[in-house]
Amino acid sequence: MIIPHFVGIGPQKTGSTWLHEVLLQHDSIVLPRGVKETMFFDCYYNKGLDWYINWFSIGNIEKQKIGEIAPTYFDHLSTINRIYCLNPQCKILISIRNPIAKAISLHHHHLNKGRVSPLFSEAVEKMPEIITSGHYSKYIPTWMDKFGERQIKLIFLDDIQHNPEKVWQDLCSFLEISRIPLPSIANQAINEKKMSKFPWLAKLASATAIKMREYKMHNLVEKAKKIGLYSVYSGGESRIIPLTDKEYENLTRLYYDDIKFLEQLTSRDLSSWYRLTKNNE
C-alpha cells in the first residue's frame, strides 16, 4: 500500500481547517478518523507505519485518495524525507497567508492554549515557530526540490475567503477527484476566534487532549467538546496585548523577502501585505 496520496502541510493559521472540512465531504477522500492531525511525520514517526495506517478507514484503495491536513509539517524538515520515502508521488498542499497576519494569529492560538505569554516578544522566544513558520522563501523551495513543482499546489487564504468555489474546483482537479459543488460547510464559520479566560485550565485541557489523541482516544476528545469542556477557550479576549507600531515594522522587515519570493513565484501582486496594520490584521 502506497500512502499518503496527498498531505496538506500547512503552515498553521493559513486555512488548513477549511481544507480539512471541505475535503472531508468528498466521497473519494479518506482522512484520519475523528481527528484532523495525526502528527505522525513530525511527532510520532517512531510508532511505525501500522500506527499511521490505522488512523484511516480504507475501503477501495483504487478509487480513494488517502491523506491528511497537517499544518505542523511545513517547517519540520525531517517530515520531507519521511513522506517522500513512503510515496515519492505524494501531492503536497501548501496554504498561504500574509506571514505578518499569520504570525499574529499563531501567537493568539498558542496564547489561547495557555502555552505562551501575552507579550509577542516573549511568546516568540518560547516558541520560535510563531515566526519561522512564515518563512516561505526558506521552506517552499525545499519542498519543491524534493517533490517537484508539479506535485505542489499553493492555496492562498485570500482566495479561500473571496472565491472558495474556484479554490475547491482547482483542488479537486489537482487531487484528481471528481469535481463536485463546493460543500455547504465551506460557508460556515470555522475556528471562530476566541481567547481563554483561564490560561492554566486551557493549557491543561490542551495537553490532555494531545495525550488522548496519541493513544487514539479521539472519540472521547470530541465528546468532551460537545459537553462544553472547550468553553474554557473563551471569555479572555482582554488578555490580548496588541502589537506596537515598532513590532509591526519589525515583522514587515522580517518577512519582506518571503513576500517578494511569493510574488515572484506566483506572479501575484502582494504589495498590500506590507501595509498590514492593527486595523486589518
Q: Given this model, what pLDDT does residue 226 score?
A: 47
What are the pLDDT digits (tens) for 192-207?
Answer: 555 555 554 555 555 5
Which segments of the chain does DSSP mark as H helices, in order?
A: 16-23, 49-53, 78-86, 99-112, 120-126, 129-132, 136-147, 157-162, 164-175, 199-214, 218-226, 245-254, 256-266
Residues whose CB is less than 8 angstroms from the CB of residue 30 and which lie 6 or more positions away in sequence, other chains included: 56, 57, 58, 59, 64, 65, 66, 67
Give the residue numbers spanning the domain of 151.
Answer: 6-195+236-275
Distance CA 225, CA 128 (A): 29
What are the pLDDT digits (tens) for 38-60?
Answer: 999 999 999 999 999 999 988 77
Distance CA 195, CA 115 (A): 12
Residue 69 maps to which CATH number? 3.40.50.300
Nearest Cα to Cα of residue 92 among 21, 155, 153: 153
Q: Is residue 218 part of a domain?
A: no
Q: Is residue 225 part of a domain?
A: no
pLDDT band at 240 (very low <50, low <70, confident <90, very high): confident
Integer-rounded Cα Rg, in Å, for the chain is 19
Task: Report pTM.
Answer: 0.83
Distance CA 72, CA 279 (A): 28
Q: Given this model, what pLDDT does residue 126 score?
A: 95
Q: Is residue 228 part of a domain?
A: no
C-alpha cell at 126: 518560547
Q: Is residue 227 part of a domain?
A: no
DSSP class of residue 18 equals H
Distance spanning both ends of the chain, measured CA to CA: 44
Mean of pLDDT values over 97-115: 93
Distance CA 22, CA 264 (A): 29
What are the pLDDT digits (tens) for 117-164?
Answer: 999 999 999 999 999 999 999 999 999 999 999 999 999 999 999 999
Mean of pLDDT values over 237-256: 86
Amino acid in the structure at residue 31: L
Q: Is residue 214 part of a domain?
A: no
Percent of the chain, pLDDT > 70?
79
Q: How many domains does the chain have?
A: 1
Report which of residues 99 and 35 the model is more confident about.
Answer: 99
Q: Given this model, what pLDDT does residue 34 score?
A: 83
Q: Is residue 1 part of a domain?
A: no
Q: Is residue 126 part of a domain?
A: yes
pLDDT band at 112 (very low <50, low <70, confident <90, very high): confident
Q: Is residue 208 part of a domain?
A: no
